[in-house]
Amino acid sequence: MCGIAGLISYDRAPEPEVLLGMRNTLLHRGPDQQGLYVDEHAGFAHTRLSVVDLEHGRQPMYLRHGDEEYLLVYNGELYNTEELRAELLAVGYHFEGHSDTEVLLAAYSHWQGACLDRLNGIFAFAVWEKHRKRLFLARDRIGVKPLYFTIRENSLIFASELKAILSVPGVTANLGADGIAELALLSPGRTPGKAILRGMEEIKPAECAYFSREYGWQRRIYWKLHAAEHHENAEETAGHVRDLLKDAIERQLVSDVPVGTLLSGGLDSSIISSVADIYFTARGKRLKTFSVTYKDQAKYFKKTKFQPNGDDEYIARMNRYLGAEHFDVVLDTADLAQALSAAMEARDLPGMADVDSSLLLFCRQIKDEVTVALSGECADEIFGGYPWYRDETIRSRAGLPWAQSTDYRFGFLRPEWREKIDPQAVVMSQYEAVLRDADTSPEAMPEQKRIQEMVRLNCDLFMQTLLSRKDAMSMACALEVRVPFCDYRLAVYLYNVPWEIKEFGGREKGLLRAAMADFLPREVLYRKKSPYPKTHNPAYLGAVRGLLRNILEDANAPLCALFDRAQLETLLRDEGRAQPWYGQLMTTPQTIAWFVQVNYWLKKYRVQVSL
């Protein structure tokens, strides 16, 4: 993966020093190579993490085809590179190496924006059509790789991370009433296309756009999930899923640098690790797997409805099953709290607190052994694994299933901000916008129609928070994390599978278990869903309480310009009224830590609060 940035201006030539400044903010994403391009209207900056074709994948990459000239900066991986290369060779294109960057640039030259319909991968890229003086931007269908931008009069600035845009002279971090509403009521989630700060936006998943002097800003969604009849029975469906998933995993194991897998002992990561282990063994290689836990976790672990057991015994069982080389990463409470600030800087926004910082610390350790890792994110969204898919009461309720504490969250805002915000309208506008766009079959039973709406809600909103976390924390460590369950072919197929087949055997993700039964030991195959592991050590709660206490003792703490000091004091005491902040991933310790991150963000990024 890489870091990309650029500046298009029709008033004056971009300054190389500005592009260098943007590039320097993204060096963590691509420490292997750096590139720069500047002409009379366009400037591109690139930092490269070399994964495939270390010699010929340098960027910005230039292509002249007839009278046309193209410059490309690209962050991502294509998993159908060889098929595309064969098509392009057949029509006269030539290639210096075997990088997917070369293939992508030729594909754009040949098919223009329609090339997006042919790409299987995770990507965010920009093409400068020098002959037309026009910029093209695009992002992958699922939204795995980020792409932010801001438009100012006759100029556009874009980058993989907000910090690169904020490094441009004259660009400041400004928070208005809409941003405060997003921060207080939706964070760490966001409205698609928004980036909380005023004037900052994000190319949406499956969106592309042109920017030119003549026509300004033009954008469109090039793909979405469509309803269709499903004609296969349960057995045929399981076979189809097995073939698609195996192919997705195996395509994503291709690399010129070391590859490993994240292994939690849960269903999703264990499936990926098992398929990868077979793939590696057949080629005379040994897979590396990585697991994370916390110091004294066994001592303090408490079972809950949503986390019925710890990971250790299942990780051990998978280790005995696989022939892989396994690495256990054990995180300490003090390090977890200390890394909250680094995790916020990686994301450029307040995030999921220690759910973020633990992944950041984990990725740092993984990077010592491999450059690419495969992870099990996003299976729950497309297979219906979350509790709210199966709980009919929650499933039928209007609103966001993971945002059931809107009034509680709203109560933390200072009174002057509460007067300007309608909390239910903020949350429901997200919900209603997704449902308006959701394609459901008119012939479908009400249950199937609602499941398709739930898939869209989860893929468009909840999953984006997890993908943003994964990209930010891993790329802060120059680690490329691939997510096979985000293969769009799986999403397309599963969108129309009837719920009774998805819930095969009356179990969450029953279809996935049936499809991959031959790849796992029985204990892991039938393990009940368990979320990403959080520390249960009471020392962590004590640590973040101490951090927030220090903030509240500062009369000029920026946090208290937005949030009510008395309510924060009540949270510190946790007098039995605390509610989950963002689903079950963020409870009292994470809520306190989130406020610590907000204060650090406001101060570090010099965020100006105004109407």
Same structural domain for residues 210 and 79? yes
Do residue 500 and residue 581 come from a single domain? no
95 touches 85 (CB < 8 A): yes
How far, in Å, CA of 438 to CA of 454, rounded? 9
321 and 188 share one domain: no
Question: Do 277 and 328 have their domain in common?
Answer: yes
Nearest to 249, CA basis, from 482, 475, 434: 482
- Of the residues 2, 363, 459, 486, which is catalytic? 2
- 430 in any annotated domain: no
* Structural contact between residues 376 and 271, judged by C-beta atoms closer than 8 angstroms: yes
Residues sharing a CB contact under 8 Å with residue 389, sequence separation 6 or more, in sequence order: 395, 451, 454, 508
Do 168 and 125 lie in one domain? The reply is: yes
486 catalytically annotated = no
pLDDT tens, 176-214? 999 999 999 999 999 999 999 999 999 999 999 999 999
Q: Which of 406, 402, 374 is nearest to 388 (CA)?
A: 402
Residues 85 and 200 in one domain: yes
Q: What is the pLDDT of residue 299?
A: 75
Q: Is 267 in the same domain as 239?
A: yes
442 domain-assigned: no
Q: For the chain, what is the domain count?
A: 3
Residue 414 lies in a domain: no
pLDDT reported for residue 98: 82
Residue 301: what pLDDT?
Answer: 67
Residues 6+ apart with CB under 8 A from 464: 143, 189, 190, 192, 205
CATH of residue 18: 3.60.20.10
Of the candidates 169, 187, 221, which is a domain's last residue?
221
> How many C-beta atoms surround the C-beta of residue 19 within 10 A?
23
| Regions in the chain scoring below 50 on pLDDT | none
**Residue-level pLDDT at 302:** 67
> What's the confidence (pLDDT) of residue 40?
95
> Would you say residue 405 lies in a domain?
no
Any domain includes 586:
yes
Residue type, 598: V
Cα–Cα distances in angstroms (integers) from residue 282 to residues 259, 305, 371, in the given order: 15, 40, 21
Task: Look up the CATH number of the domain holding residue 480.
Answer: 3.40.50.620
Please check whether residues 206 and 279 belong to one and the same domain.
no
Query: What pLDDT shows up at residue 49?
Result: 80
Residue 312 lies in a domain: yes
The order of strands in the sheet holding 134-139 is: 61-65, 68-78, 121-129, 134-139, 207-212, 216-221
429 is a domain residue:
no
170 and 270 assigned to the same domain: no
Tens of pLDDT, residue by residue over 301-348, are 666 655 666 788 899 999 999 989 999 999 998 999 999 999 999 999
> Chain-centre distance of CA 186, in angstroms?
16
Report the candidate in 232, 295, 174, 199 with the shortest Cα–Cα distance to residue 540. Answer: 295
For residue 282, the model assigns a pLDDT of 96
59 shares its domain with 158: yes
> Residue 290: its pLDDT value, please?
97
For residues 584 and 481, state if they share a domain: no
What per-residue confidence (pLDDT) applies to 585?
A: 84
Q: How far apart are CA 229 and CA 165, in angstroms?
A: 45
What is the predicted pLDDT for the residue at 119?
98
Clarify whether residues 120 and 265 are in a common domain.
no
Amino acid at 380: D
Final residue in a domain of this structure, among 221, 242, 276 = 221
Show which of 191, 221, 251 is a domain's final residue: 221
Three-class secondary structure assignment of 521-576:
CHHHHCCCCCCCCCCCCHHHHHHHHHHHHHHHCCCCCHHHHCECHHHHHHHHHCCC
Which residues are paired to 329 by β-bridges? Answer: 292
Residue 532: CB partners within 8 Å, gap ≥ 6?
Answer: 264, 355, 359, 585
Q: Which two tokens stand for residue 454?
A: 């739930």
- Residue 420 domain flag: no
Q: 186 lies in which domain range?
A: 2-221
